[in-house]
């Protein structure tokens, strides 16, 4: 099973959002972008890799929502995302793959959440404490 993990990291290295998709295309990239923007607001600038899907999704979002998000494709600025992604890859690689996208998504959500807790990014917001968020994902 091939899949793609979209990840967004802020300029301080904190994980903003993530999404596991079956394909890496404009539609999947746009879905991830909309999900991240719905939860965190519209950013001024986004640094991405050379993926055509990400560029197409950002251009599509800018046109549809009359937004003015600056698209940057600067390799050294994208290193924050790649370095943060390494922690997830280190845990997933020994698993030798997943049988379904559903099990992969649940496992990666748990890995991402544990990574965020370790880095002090999960805070109690009045709804659920980090441990409760984790057990809700596992259940």
Longest dimension (CA), the chain: 44
25 has a pLDDT exceeding 80 = yes
Q: DSSP letters of 51-74?
A: -HHHHHHHHHHHHHHT--PEEE--
Question: What's the predicted TM-score (pTM) here?
Answer: 0.66
Comparing 137 with 114, the larger pLDDT belongs to 114
pLDDT score of 27: 95
The per-residue pLDDT for range 10-19, each reduced to its tens digit, is 877 777 888 8
Comparing 80 with 100, the larger pLDDT belongs to 100
The per-residue pLDDT for range 59-68, each reduced to its tens digit, is 999 999 999 9
- Return all residues near 126 (Cβ < 8 A) that are at least 6 apart: none
pLDDT score of 124: 55
Query: For the structural domain made of 4-138, what CATH number should be given?
Result: 3.30.420.10
138 has a pLDDT exceeding 60 = no
């Amino acid at each position: 099973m091939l899949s793609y993990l979209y990840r967004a990291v802020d300029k301080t290295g904190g994980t903003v959002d993530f999404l596991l998709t079956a394909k890496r295309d404009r539609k999947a990239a746009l879905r991830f972008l909309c999900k991240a923007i719905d939860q965190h607001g519209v950013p001024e600038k986004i640094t991405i890799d050379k993926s055509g899907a990400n560029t197409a999704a950002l251009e599509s979002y800018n046109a549809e929502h009359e937004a003015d998000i600056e698209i940057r494709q600067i390799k050294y600025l994208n290193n924050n995302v790649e370095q943060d992604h390494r922690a997830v890859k280190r845990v997933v690689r020994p698993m030798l793959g997943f049988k379904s996208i559903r099990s992969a998504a649940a496992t990666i959500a748990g890995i991402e959440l544990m990574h965020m807790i370790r880095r002090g990014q999960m805070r109690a917001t009045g709804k659920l404490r980090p441990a409760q968020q984790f057990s809700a994902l596992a259940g």
